[in-house]
């Protein structure tokens, strides 16, 4: 009759670019499940043959060794030169630190200036924004050049990646500058804490996080949108477009710039009350 032992195929598609750690974990889980199924099949088939007093042919024994065959298809592979798939996070870390450093340097320099009226204070805020735009372009191309030539990270779309990093830097810079303009240097400390507590989450898949971190922390983490955008550019072969990461980052930058401009009115009012005009 028909061969009672036949090999079946269990297909697995691994989206490595989405999150290498989650992809590897999913692959291990699938392997364990298939191995368990194969073990159960072998036990049941062997028990059936023993009850019937039959022996296995060579072909049947070969099929019995692995009744369910595993096939793995890798999509959006990260490649060899991707810091083990962590290239987006590796780029976001220096980007965030550079944003804090740039914002504090410009804030410290302008803080020493004296202004005769509120218009001059407002112009200083525009100067802070313009300086940040120049720093953003420089940071974008510098970081891509260092990552590609010095570190050896594969960056398939040089200009799109550099411009996206510039958008990230400018958004972060404006956000940090706006906060420090209102509450001073302690504001930069908040972003330092955000770096230490937020960066580890970038390497995790949202499904693997505790519900609290996923809903109340990761969902609005600014660095998360930078990391997502870089994954699209590095691993998904997507060009720079008005996608969700870019839209969110531009919105953060726009709101931060308005808050920065509003801080000039606050500082001018304080200076007028004290009888001096300063930033």
Averaged pLDDT for residues 78-90: 71
> What pLDDT sits at residue 129?
93
> What pLDDT sits at residue 2?
38
pLDDT at 179 over 70: yes
Cβ atoms < 10 Å from Cβ of 230: 23
pTM tops 0.75: no
The DSSP result for 223-254, as a single string, is HHHHHHHHHHHHHS---S-S-HHHHHHHHHHH
**pLDDT bucket at 166, cuts 50 / 70 / 90:** very high
**39-57 per-position pLDDT tens digit:** 666 666 666 666 666 666 6
Averaged pLDDT for residues 149-160: 89
Give the best-scoring range by mean pLDDT among 58-62, 72-76, 234-238, 247-251: 247-251
Q: In percent, how much of the chain has pLDDT > 70?
A: 63
> What pLDDT sits at residue 178?
94
Q: d(Cα 224, Cα 229) in Å, to the nearest integer?
A: 9
The DSSP result for 180-217, as a single string, is HHHH-THHHHHHHHHHHHHGGGGGS-GGGS-HHHHHHT
**86-99 per-position pLDDT tens digit:** 888 889 999 999 99
> What pLDDT sits at residue 277?
41
Dihedral, CA atoms, 105, 111, 115, 121, nearest 10 degrees?
70
pLDDT at 15 over 80: no
Average pLDDT along the chain: 77
> What pLDDT sits at residue 257?
95
Averaged pLDDT for residues 101-120: 81
Of residues 197 and 260, the one with the higher pLDDT is 260
Of residues 259 and 117, the one with the higher pLDDT is 259
pLDDT at 163 over 80: yes
> What pLDDT sits at residue 109?
87
Dihedral, CA atoms, 153, 156, 159, 162, nearest 10 degrees?
-30
**pLDDT bucket at 112, cuts 50 / 70 / 90:** confident
> What pLDDT sits at residue 170?
97
Of residues 185 and 22, the one with the higher pLDDT is 185
pLDDT at 141 over 70: yes
> What pLDDT sits at residue 219?
83
């Amino acid at each position: 009759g028909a061969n009672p032992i036949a090999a079946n195929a269990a297909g697995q598609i691994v989206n490595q670019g989405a999150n290498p750690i989650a992809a590897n974990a999913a692959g291990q889980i699938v392997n364990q499940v298939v191995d368990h199924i194969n073990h159960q099949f072998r036990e049941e088939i062997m028990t059936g043959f023993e009850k019937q007093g039959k022996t296995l042919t060579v072909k049947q024994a070969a099929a019995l060794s692995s009744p369910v065959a595993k096939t793995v298809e890798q999509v959006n592979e990260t490649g060899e030169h991707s810091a083990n798939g962590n290239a987006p996070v590796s780029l976001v870390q220096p980007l965030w630190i550079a944003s804090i450093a740039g914002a504090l340097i410009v804030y410290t320099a302008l803080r020493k200036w004296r202004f005769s009226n509120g218009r001059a204070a407002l112009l200083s805020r525009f100067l802070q924004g313009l300086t940040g735009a120049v720093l953003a372009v420089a940071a974008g191309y510098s970081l891509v050049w260092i990552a590609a030539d010095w570190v050896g990270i594969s960056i398939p779309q040089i200009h799109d990646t550099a411009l996206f990093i510039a958008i990230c830097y400018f958004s972060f810079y404006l956000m940090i500058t706006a906060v420090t303009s209102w509450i001073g240097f302690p504001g930069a400390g908040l972003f330092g804490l955000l770096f230490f507590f937020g960066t580890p989450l970038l390497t995790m898949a949202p499904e693997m996080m505790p519900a609290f971190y996923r809903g109340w922390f990761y969902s609005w983490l600014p660095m998360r949108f930078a990391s997502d955008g870089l994954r699209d550019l590095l691993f998904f072969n997507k060009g720079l477009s008005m996608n969700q990461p870019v839209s969110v980052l531009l919105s953060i930058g726009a709101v931060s710039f308005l808050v920065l401009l509003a801080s000039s009115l606050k500082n001018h009012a304080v200076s007028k009350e004290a009888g001096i005009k300063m930033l």
